Amino acid sequence: MNGISVIVCCFNSAARLTPTLRHLYNQKGIPPSHFEVIIVDNCSTDGTAHKAREIWDGFHSDKPSFRIVAERKAGLSAARQRGIESSLYNYVLFCDDDNWLQENYLSSAIGILSANPFIGVLGGIGEPVFEFQEPPFFWINQYHALAVGNQTNVVGDITDLRGVVYGAGMVVNKQAFNILKLKYRFDFQVSDRLENRLLSSGDHELCLAIKKIGFRIYLSDKLSFRHFIPHSRTTIPYYKKLFFGFGTAYAMLQVYRVNPMEINSLRNDYRYNMLRCLKKIISLQIKLLTNGYYLNNSKYKYVDILHALYSSRGQLIAHFKLKNAFKSKVLTLPIFNTSSEEITLSATNLNGI
């Protein structure tokens, strides 16, 4: 169906949903019959589903379809996949539970995607709204980690530049996703969980996968939203956990960076990559020491170094746990070993699926 499905993935989101849903209800330039709102309740224990229904029922009768679906597998990737599978329309938008979309976000996204069917993923630009005050050095070394600000200096086709957009406000061409699932047997390599550790790079993986089958990644400055950022997400301990997760996910996404013809290269062996990470960790620890990190009460000045350090630690541990398991996936899964000619044909033949 021609329209857009807005997917709001929730884990204990009851306290955050009111402004998010109000901004969806207040969308302009699109009739209610051309979009829907899907709440994906991902193992919440705070009554998220009940609160979401209560909020939506409080709006006037002229509103789009609203549904709540449950996903029992913990993790954002599983929740997003459930949302896509439950959606009715040909475009799906991932709206985080703390994203407040500008009133023309949906209509602008549909206009851009309808004009270019080769766009597989479309991203927008987030503006932070802090619970308290902006942390020091935020626009120097932190904003890029919290899905706000310019993702690149270029708008339009960024496939061959940055190549990914952040998941907040991301719009996916469902036809591209269906090709991934049905023809290339796509499944998330970043499951958003490695043992008991939640990760957060499923959005990047989806971009990498859709790019790999020949679709384009776009960024538009016509799409903007406000991103509410609680104080707890701008603390140094939170950043360390976040960066560690980034590194873990980076190692898990190695399958997208490997040329199958060079899979047995030393550079693709987990022991080589562990040594590189260890060398970088030692260098960064020395850098923190010589730059006065341990003597300075305010640690925000050093967030970029902490990013590199904890990301390296995450990579190191992930390589140790996963070893060379990715190699079998590179060799057996169609998305990683299909020829470029076949991939181009898949993206061109949009009516095939």
Q: Average pLDDT in the 135-145 region?
A: 96
The pLDDT of residue 337 is above 50: yes
pLDDT of residue 344: 54
Q: Cβ atoms within 10 A of the Cβ of 74, count?
A: 15
Answer for the pair 80, 200: CB distance below 8 angstroms, yes or no.
no
Q: Strand pairing of 156-157 and 216-229?
A: antiparallel
Q: Which fold has domain 4-232?
A: Spore Coat Polysaccharide Biosynthesis Protein SpsA; Chain A (3.90.550)
pLDDT of residue 52: 97
pLDDT of residue 349: 53
- Assign 353 a pLDDT band (cuts: 50, 70, 90): very low
pLDDT of residue 348: 55
The pLDDT of residue 136 is above 70: yes
Task: Report percent pLDDT > 70 for the chain.
Answer: 93
Query: Which among 279, 277, 305, 307 has a CA at the least distance from the CA of 292?
Result: 305
What's the distance, CA 146 to chain centroid?
Answer: 11
Q: What angle do CA 71, 30, 10 make, to 5 degrees?
A: 20
Answer for the pair 248, 134: CB distance below 8 angstroms, yes or no.
no
- Assign 346 a pLDDT band (cuts: 50, 70, 90): low
Q: Which two tokens stand for residue 302?
A: 């050093």
The per-residue pLDDT for range 8-46, each reduced to its tens digit, is 999 999 999 999 999 999 999 999 999 999 999 999 999
The per-residue pLDDT for range 159-215, each reduced to its tens digit, is 999 999 999 999 999 999 999 999 998 888 776 444 445 566 888 999 999 999 999
Report how far residue 10's alpha carbon sits from residue 321's, in angstroms, rounded to the nearest whole number. 29
Sequence spans of domains, the chain: 4-232, 240-340
The per-residue pLDDT for range 237-290, each reduced to its tens digit, is 999 999 999 999 999 999 998 888 899 999 999 999 999 999 999 999 999 999
Quote the pTM value.
Answer: 0.90
The per-residue pLDDT for range 69-84, each reduced to its tens digit, is 999 988 888 899 999 9
The pLDDT of residue 227 is above 80: yes
Mean pLDDT value across the chain: 91
pLDDT of residue 185: 86
pLDDT of residue 351: 43
The pLDDT of residue 104 is above 60: yes
H helix and E strand count, the chain:
13, 11
Report how far residue 260's alpha carbon sits from residue 337's, in angstroms, rounded to the nearest whole number. 7
- Assign 340 a pLDDT band (cuts: 50, 70, 90): low
Burial 304-316 (b: 16+ CB within 10 A, else e): ebbbbbbbbbbbb
Query: Which among 117, 98, 330, 325 has a CA at the least distance from the CA of 233?
Result: 98
Report how far residue 309's alpha carbon sits from residue 246's, in angstroms, rounded to the nearest whole number. 11
DSSP characters for 276-337? HHHHHHHHHHHHHHHTTGGG-S--GGGHHHHHHHHHHHHHHHHHHHHTTTHHHHHHHSHHHH
pLDDT of residue 202: 84
